[in-house]
Amino acid sequence: MVVYHLSTECYPVAKVGGLADVVGALPKYQNKIKGVDAKVVMPWYNKPFVYDHEFEVVFDGFIHQGSHMLQVQVMKEKTDTLGFELYMVKIPGLLDRDNPYGYQDESFQFLAFQHGILHWLSAMKIRPDVLHCHDYHTGLVPFMVEHCPEFEFLKGVKTIGTIHNGEYQGVMDWSMANYMPAFDRYKWGLLDWNKLINPLASMIKCSHAFTTVSEGYLEELYISFRGLESLVREEFGKAYGIINGIDTEVWNPETDPMLDFNFGIENAIEQKKKNKEKLCKEYGLKPELPLFAFIGRFATEKGADLLPDVVWRSIKQSYGALNIMILGSGNTYIENILKEYEHTYSNFALDVGYKEYLSHKIYASADFLLMPSRVEPCGLNQMYSMRYGTIPIVRYTGGLRDTVEDISTGGAGLNFTYAGVDDVIHAMNRGVSIYNQKKLMGDLIDANMRFDFAWEKSAEKYIALYNK
User: Is 129 strand, coil or helix?
Assistant: coil
Strands 291-298 and 368-371: parallel
Tell me how far apart the terminal alpha carbons of the chain are, to the nearest angstrom. Answer: 13
- For residue 415, what is the enclosing H or E element? strand 414-416
Closest CA to 87 of 169, 2, 157, 17: 2
In angstroms, the CA 336 to CA 326 distance is: 13
- The 3-class SS string of 190-208 reads HCEECCEECHHHHHHHHCC
Instruction: Return the bridge partners of 2, or none.
Output: 37
For residue 58, the surrounding DSSP H or E stretch is strand 55-65
C-beta of residue 115 within 8 angstroms of C-beta of residue 65: yes
15 annotated among ligand-binding-site residues: yes
Pair 163, 239: CB distance under 8 Å: no
In terms of Cα–Cα distance, which of 348, 354, 395 is closest to 376?
Answer: 395
Cβ neighbourhood burial of 330 (10 Å; 0-12, 13-18, 19+): middle
Within 10 angstroms of residue 272's Cβ, the number of other Cβ atoms is 23
Other C-beta atoms closer than 10 Å to the C-beta of 273 total 16
- Supply the DSSP string of 245-296, one letter for each residue: -B-TTTS-TTT-TT-SS---GGGHHHHHHHHHHHHHHHHT--TTS-EEEEEE
Q: What angle do CA 358, 302, 259 make, to 5 degrees?
A: 15
> Which residues fall within 8 angstroms of residue 159, CB to CB, at 6 or more apart?
130, 131, 132, 133, 141, 142, 145, 206, 207, 208
Q: How far is residue 56's CA from residue 292's CA, in Å, rounded to a whole number?
A: 46
Where do the H-state alpha helices sit in 323-454?
A: 332-344, 356-365, 381-387, 398-403, 421-435, 438-449
Binding site per annotation, positions for ADP-alpha-D-glucose: 15
Binding site per annotation, positions: 15
